[in-house]
């Protein structure tokens, strides 16, 4: 736990609480009055008061002037939100007198270094609709009194040290939409009563010590979208055969002790992500899985599955990742209709599926080989030799992007495909070079089919550099395992000691960095396009952090590494520095990234987390709105200087015309999220999934909100 002594920079929670409680009750007792004047000078220097602070004898509502405290017109505290305030509370949650806030609707103390237990009295906040205590050091049991908060829509106590049983009284929260209990030490079974939460959309119970079977009641939560039961000790079979999970898009039950067969889900048209890996499931893969038409990722590895791989999986046109490692399948892998799939189909006890894996040189990703190529080509991510390895196979293989051929490979020796690239770039002539990145140069290549691709090529001296070679291989490893509409597509790569290059989707408008610094392009990037670029980047990072297992941290989010297509849509690129987060490791690393975008804690801790990307995203979001890198602004913003008293329009790019009313609301939302991402305490930064969800909703602002009347201080 981070601790600090009393200073003018950090105000402990008990001081805030004492003032708030006094103000809300109208109490001006001598003990509080005596301490108030002694603290007044220190409080004034923090910048957390408004410019005009009423004296104690003229107003009893001073608490309403505190940053993070929001009141009604008559001084009733409606919201306490301290998650974005640079505040080390070093106190117990129990010191907050909950009975003093009968009208409280929002209580957010996430990432505030709270310790102690959650007091039973929290159940008296009957008007509460949002409760977040995540990212603290809370211990003990989750009080059953939470079941009294029937207005609650959002409950997050994740990333604490809570233990004991999950109270069955949570089943009373009929209005609950989001329930986050993951990353604690809860034991016992999952309460059957949670199935009563008919409005629940997000249920996260992963990374606990839950035992017993999965209650069948969860299968009838008709609005459930995400279900996370990963990394527990659950056993028995999955009771979803007759489930009515029509809205479910993500089902994660990996790393448990589940047995039985894979359930046949009768209504899975919206299911995109299915992870049943690392269990003891047996039996066949059900043919009906091929009816789940929205599936993009399927992980069934490390089970005891048998039989053949169903041919109906070939109908999953959106499938990009299928992992079947460490099972006991027999027979051949069926061909598929999707040219972009990346399959991992090694299987214990089946040499027929694992015997052809040597001499990989030039890979083309996400493709499927015709059945006529034979058993030797059953890996789906096929390999062909750049030079010296001609074969006798005479099939023509098309590598497609939608309905348009990217290029054709003849005779499966790779010579034609390789030569196509050499001819298209005149052996990587400098006139085809369109940029130089952290490693390698980027070339534009128009292939015989008419398809234009981008090639990132390592120079000879870079290929001999171990760091560049590692970055190259790391980018291949990461991009061949992920796929998202806002992440640049990797079509293939060549790995040879004389020639190493990557084949990417071509981005007509280059990098965001260059677009913002070119007057014509900057004007073309109007407010709507800029907001969409921020949103697209957020969605991509949310996918990497929360939809990938293990999570992926980019480590070098900057305007140089966000590319723009012909429609000015954003694509995250350059994954050479990225890494998978290991839950069993400290994730300590050397500092990587671009100067001006690196999270400040990296220099001290050398530990990489998702919150490093969150900070970098905040810098990029500000850069997009301001039109240039916000270096000096960030410095003044984080030190609470006079910049915070400026209006929002003062920092916006002046090359663009005045935004419309709808654009203003979007801009305010972007700036609010950007400021939150720049918090010096990584625990107080929002997650990318919460940012992505905010951007997916229509901004809810007061009619009076405007970039011309709203100060930076009000937003941050």
- Binding site, annotated residues for ATP: 456
Residue from 220, 321, 229 nearest 278 by CA = 229
What region does 159 belong to: left with phi over 0, alpha with psi -120 to 50, or beta?
Answer: left
- DSSP string across 618-686: HHHHHHHHHSS--HHHHHHHHTT-GGGGSBGGGGS-TTSPPPPHHHHHHHHHHHHHHHHHT-SSGGGSP
Binding site residue list: 456
Contacts by residues 439-446 (CB-CB < 8 Å, ≥ 24 positions apart): 439/467, 439/468, 439/471, 439/472, 439/576, 440/468, 440/472, 440/501, 444/506, 445/421
Residue 350 near residue 333 (C-beta atoms within 8 A): no
Q: Is 407 exposed, middle or buried (0-12, 13-18, 19+ CB in 10 A)?
A: buried
Question: Going by DSSP bridges, is the β-strand pair 499-505/452-458 parallel, antiparallel, or unpaired?
Answer: antiparallel
- Residue 556 annotated among the catalytic residues of the structure: yes
Q: Which residues of 85-107 are buried (b: 16+ CB within 10 A; e: fewer)?
A: bbbbbbbebbebebebbebbbbb
Residue 516 near residue 628 (C-beta atoms within 8 A): yes
CA distances to 306, 330, 342, 349, 693 from 327, rounded to whole Å, are 7, 10, 18, 8, 36
Residue 278 near residue 301 (C-beta atoms within 8 A): yes
Residue from 8, 157, 163 nearest 93 by CA = 157
- DSSP H stretches of helix in 543-640: 602-605, 610-626, 631-638
Q: CA 716 to CA 703: how far, in whole Å?
A: 19
HSE (side-chain half, CA atoms, 13 Å) at 684? 22
Contacts by residues 298-301 (CB-CB < 8 Å, ≥ 24 positions apart): 298/274, 298/322, 298/323, 299/254, 299/274, 299/275, 299/323, 299/549, 300/262, 300/276, 300/324, 300/327, 301/277, 301/325, 301/326, 301/327, 301/344
Question: Going by DSSP bridges, is the β-strand pair 452-458/441-446 parallel, antiparallel, or unpaired?
Answer: antiparallel
Identify the DSSP state of 29: -
User: Phi, psi (5° rounding) for residue 623?
Assistant: -60, -40
What region does 311 belong to: left with phi over 0, alpha with psi -120 to 50, or beta?
Answer: alpha
The first and second tokens of residue 93, run together, are 């949650």
Of 556, 574, 613, 666, the active-site residue reads 556
Q: CA 641 to CA 658: how far, in whole Å?
A: 27
Residue 29 near residue 56 (C-beta atoms within 8 A): no
Q: CA 8 to CA 712: how far, in whole Å?
A: 21
Peptide bond into 541 cis (omega under 30): no
Residue labelled with tokens 């599955």: 305
Q: CA 656 to CA 522: how far, in whole Å?
A: 8
Q: CA 652 to CA 295: how far, in whole Å?
A: 41
Residue from 674, 569, 687 nearest 630 by CA = 674
Residue positions annotated with a catalytic role: 556
């Amino acid at each position: 736990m981070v601790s600090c002594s009393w200073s003018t920079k950090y105000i402990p929670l008990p001081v805030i609480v004492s003032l708030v409680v006094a103000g809300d009750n109208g109490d001006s007792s001598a003990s509080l009055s005596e301490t108030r004047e002694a603290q007044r000078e220190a409080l004034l220097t923090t910048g957390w008061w408004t410019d005009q602070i009423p004296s104690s004898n003229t107003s009893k509502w001073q608490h309403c002037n505190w940053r993070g405290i929001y009141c009604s017109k008559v001084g009733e505290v409606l919201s306490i939100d301290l998650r974005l305030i640079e505040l080390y509370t070093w106190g117990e949650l129990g010191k907050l007198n909950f009975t003093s806030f009968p009208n409280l609707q929002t209580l957010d103390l996430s990432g505030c270094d709270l310790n102690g237990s959650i007091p039973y009295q929290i159940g008296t906040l009957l008007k509460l609709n949002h409760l977040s205590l995540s990212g603290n050091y809370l211990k003990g049991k989750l009080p059953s009194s939470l079941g009294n908060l029937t207005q609650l829509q959002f409950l997050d106590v994740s990333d604490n040290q809570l233990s004991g049983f999950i109270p069955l009284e949570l089943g009373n929260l009929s209005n609950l939409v989001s329930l986050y209990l993951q990353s604690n030490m809860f034991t016992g079974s999952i309460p059957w009563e949670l199935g009563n939460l008919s409005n629940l959309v997000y249920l996260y119970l992963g990374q606990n010590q839950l035992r017993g079977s999965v209650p069948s009641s969860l299968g009838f939560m008709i609005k459930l979208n995400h279900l996370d039961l990963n990394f527990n000790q659950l056993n028995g079979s999955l009771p979803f055969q007759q489930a009515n999970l029509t809205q479910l898009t993500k089902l994660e039950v990996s790393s448990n002790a589940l047995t039985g067969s894979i359930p046949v889900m009768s209504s899975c048209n919206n299911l995109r992500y299915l992870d049943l890996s690392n269990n003891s499931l047996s039996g066949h893969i059900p043919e009906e899985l091929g009816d789940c038409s929205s599936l993009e990722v399927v992980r069934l590895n490390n089970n005891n599955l048998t039989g053949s791989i169903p041919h109906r999986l070939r109908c999953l046109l959106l499938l990009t990742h299928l992992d079947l490692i460490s099972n006991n399948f027999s027979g051949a892998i069926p061909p598929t209709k999707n040219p972009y799939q990346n399959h991992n189909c090694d299987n214990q006890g089946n040499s027929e599926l694992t015997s052809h894996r040597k001499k990989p040189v030039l890979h083309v990703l996400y493709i499927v080989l015709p059945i006529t190529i034979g058993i030797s080509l059953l890996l789906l991510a096929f390999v062909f030799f750049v030079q010296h390895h001609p074969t006798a196979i005479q099939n023509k293989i098309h590598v497609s992007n939608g309905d348009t051929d990217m290029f054709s490979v003849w005779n499966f020796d790779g010579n034609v495909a390789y030569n196509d690239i050499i001819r298209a770039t005149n052996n990587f002539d400098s006139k085809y070079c369109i940029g130089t990145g952290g490693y390698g140069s980027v070339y534009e290549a128009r292939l015989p089919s008419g398809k234009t691709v981008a090639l990132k090529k390592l120079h000879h001296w870079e290929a001999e550099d171990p760091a560049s070679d590692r970055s190259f291989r790391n980018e291949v490893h990461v991009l061949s395992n992920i796929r998202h509409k806002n992440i640049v597509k990797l079509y293939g790569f060549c790995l040879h000691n004389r020639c190493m290059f990557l084949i990417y989707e071509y981005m007509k408008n280059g990098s965001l960095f260059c677009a913002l610094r070119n007057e014509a392009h900057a004007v073309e990037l109007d407010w709507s396009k800029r907001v969409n670029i921020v949103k697209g980047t957020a969605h991509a990072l949310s996918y990497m952090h929360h939809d990938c297992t293990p999570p992926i941290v980019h480590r070098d989010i900057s305007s140089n590494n966000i590319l723009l297509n012909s429609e000015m849509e954003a694509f995250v690129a350059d994954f050479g520095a990225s890494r998978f987060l290991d839950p069993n490791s400290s994730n300590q690393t050397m500092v990587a990234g671009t100067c001006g975008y690196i999270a400040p804690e990296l220099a001290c801790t050398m530990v990489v987390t998702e919150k490093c990307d969150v900070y970098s995203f905040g810098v990029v979001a500000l850069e997009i709105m301001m039109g240039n890198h916000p270096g000096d602004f960030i410095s003044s913003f984080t030190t609470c200087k006079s910049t915070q008293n400026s209006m929002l329009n003062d920092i916006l790019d002046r090359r663009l015309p005045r935004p419309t009313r709808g654009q203003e609301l979007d801009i305010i939302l972007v700036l609010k999220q950007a400021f939150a991402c720049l918090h010096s305490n990584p625990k107080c930064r929002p997650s990318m999934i919460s940012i992505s969800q905010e951007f997916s909703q229509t901004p809810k602002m007061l009619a009076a909100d405007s970039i011309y009347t709203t100060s930076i201080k009000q937003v941050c």
